Amino acid sequence: MTLVIFYKLLAIFLTVGLGYLAARLRWFGEATAAEARLLGNLAMNVFVAALLFRTAARIDFSRLPWPVLMAYFLPALVMVLVVSAWHRRSGMGAGTAPPPMQGAAAIPATRSVAATYGNAVQLGIPMAAALFGEPGLAIHITMVGLHGVMLLTLPTALAELALARAHAQQHGAVPLPRVLLATVRNTMLHPVVLPIVAGLLWNLTGFGLHPVLDEALMLLGSAVVPVCLVLIGITLKAHGLGVRWQTVLPVCLLKLVVMPALILVVAHWGFGLAGVPLAVVVMMAALPVGSNALIFAQRYQVLEAEATASIVISTLAFVVTASGWLAVLAWVAA
């Protein structure tokens, strides 16, 4: 753990603390779950959407390091499917308080986001720069560009499919084509998927982004990090950390231990990665739960307190687990 990364962790907690203090001082009104959800909707529908559109519109597919990307995102997507299926089969997790009926079916997909989506920007970028220099940072930045595109689209589709099935069950037998049509429609119109698809379609035209539009999107996208960190503080005030550790601990273990172990095995022994590329993908997988897990939870009004606790606790634990994974990488390279 370098001093740069430690300072970045302190800055993250300071920003979260300022959001919590602002909520305590009622700068956002009563700072209830409804107010936190309102800010989360603003972040997802405006700031995250702008970031995703700009990212998708600017991807240069001809220059992407495909072996490195596949070594990371293929097992990560498999993990999304496995975590979601596990929670769906086990009744969406023991010890979970009954969520609002309209979003209960989205719990498995929501947990899959927390278990796979890491803090790749505000913590991951300085970590890559400090540990691996410019070559490692270049790989990490490329992966960040696809991070949201890959690891938010699949959970969104899973959540919308589960909700469509739940709606069909509540309203009697509904033909499968209607369920699938509702899933596709709701997924495509989702504030995560729609800007990604629109950005990719714009990318295919080859027109590029006008400098004014690019600047506007960049300004909106730059608000994602501070707004999300403040949102975590507000949600802490609204919900506290009063969730049962039996629900938070498995998510943190999946994100901090299982996911980097899976990426290490697939990337090194499956794709033959070594040196800096291997270290970058493993340490990216080892990052703590990202703030988009909370925004995703707020979208479906489920597990908001659990997502907040998972972000805070996994970030604290990262101080220890990061050092452990760096030691494992040194052992593999020996």
Question: How does pLDDT run across 23-72, given as a tens digit for each residue?
Answer: 888 776 665 667 777 787 888 788 888 888 888 888 888 888 899 999 99
pLDDT score of 92: 52
Given a cut of 60, whether residue 230 has pLDDT beyond it is yes
308 neighbors 236 (Cβ within 8 angstroms) = yes
The Cα-based distances of 116 to 80, 106, 151, 154, 202 in angstroms read 7, 16, 7, 11, 28
Q: Nearest-CA neighbor of 126 among 151, 144, 146? A: 144
Q: How many CB atoms lie within 10 A of CB 216?
A: 14
pLDDT score of 195: 86
Overall residue count recorded for the chain in this entry:
334
115 neighbors 158 (Cβ within 8 angstroms) = no
**Taking every pair of C-alpha atoms in the chain, what is the biggest distance, in angstroms?**
61
For residues 235 and 221, what is the distance between their CA atoms, to the nearest angstrom? 21
Tokens standing for 193? 């998927």
For residues 147 and 56, what is the distance between their CA atoms, to the nearest angstrom? 11
pLDDT score of 295: 86
Question: Ranked by mean pLDDT, which of 95-109, 181-195, 205-219, 234-248 comes out on top?
Answer: 205-219
For residues 198 and 311, what is the distance between their CA atoms, to the nearest angstrom? 30
The per-residue DSSP string of 182-245 comes to: HHHHHHHTSTTHHHHHHHHHHHHHT----HHHHHHHHHHHHTHHHHHHHHHHHHHHHHTT-S-H
Tens of pLDDT, residues 151-208: 888 998 898 888 888 877 776 655 667 667 767 777 777 777 788 889 889 989 988 8
The better pLDDT of the pair 43, 111 is held by 111
227 neighbors 84 (Cβ within 8 angstroms) = no
The Cα-based distances of 161 to 21, 60, 180 in angstroms read 38, 31, 7
The model carries a pTM of: 0.81
277 confidence band (pLDDT: 50, 70, 90) = very high
CATH of 3-333, one of 1.10.730, 1.20.1530, 2.40.30, 3.40.50: 1.20.1530
288 confidence band (pLDDT: 50, 70, 90) = very high
For residues 56 and 73, what is the distance between their CA atoms, to the nearest angstrom? 16
**Which residues are 309's β-sheet partners?**
none
273 confidence band (pLDDT: 50, 70, 90) = very high
Given a cut of 50, whether residue 96 has pLDDT beyond it is no
Looking at the chain, the whole-number percentage of residues with pLDDT higher than 90 is 30
The Cα-based distances of 223 to 42, 83, 149, 213, 296 in angstroms read 11, 30, 18, 16, 17
Tokens standing for 261? 């172990």
